[in-house]
Amino acid sequence: MKGLKFILAGLLFGVVMAKSEAISWYRIQEMFRFQSFHMYGIIGTAVILGIILVYLIKKFKIRDFHGNPIIFQDKDTSWPRYIIGGSIFGLGWALTGACPGPMFVNIGYGYWSMILVILGSLIGTYLYGLIKNKLPH
């Protein structure tokens, strides 16, 4: 069962996102209204620890469990796709209160109506693929 470890990692992700209420529409509204530290605390802690971990992996040239070197891909340097794509994403995030991870965690939690949001996000992804070459990147 090579796949089991990914299921378990995902399971931990789902539990922690739900138990820390990061899958809550209300919590996302609270964040965008700057009325609570909660979401900033979650993202901030993850990023600060993440920066330290990535730095240590690079510094000590730590290998992955296959024994291969760990390579961090640099993102393409440009402006338009990140700012325009990011803003479009943000509009949807604040409206539905869910980014892609939480959409699925919410399904598990019992919010079946999130299927509509997931269906929408699949349509959106397809539309992007369709007109990708006409968009400024």
Partner 1 sequence: MLQLLRQPWPWYTSGATIAFIMLLLIYFGKSFGVSSNLRTICTIAGAGKKVEFFNFDWKTQKWNLLFLFGAVLGGLIASTLLKSDQPLQISAATITDLQKLGIVFDGNLNPSQIFGWDFITSPKGLIVLLGGGILVGFGARYAGGCTSGHAISGLSNLQVPSLIAVIGFFAGGLVMTYFLLPLIF
Q: Which of the residues 7 through 66 are near partner 1 (CB under 8 A)?
A: 7-33, 35-39, 41-51, 53-54, 57, 64-66
Q: Does 82 bind partner 1 (CB under 8 A)?
A: yes
Give the count of residues interacting with partner 1 (CB under 8 A).
Answer: 111
Contact 15, 26 (CB under 8 A): no
Residue nearer to partner 1 on the CB measure, 14 or 61? 14
Which CA distances in Å does 75 have to 11, 63, 90, 121?
28, 21, 20, 23
Question: Scanning the structure block, which residue is given the tokens 């539990």?
Answer: 15
Residue 99: DSSP 8-state: -
Q: How far is the CB of 134 from partner 1 (least distance, A)?
A: 12
One symbol per residue from 106 to 135: x for binding partner 1 (CB under 8 A), - otherwise; what is it? xxxxxx-xx-xxxxxxxxxxxxxxx-x--x
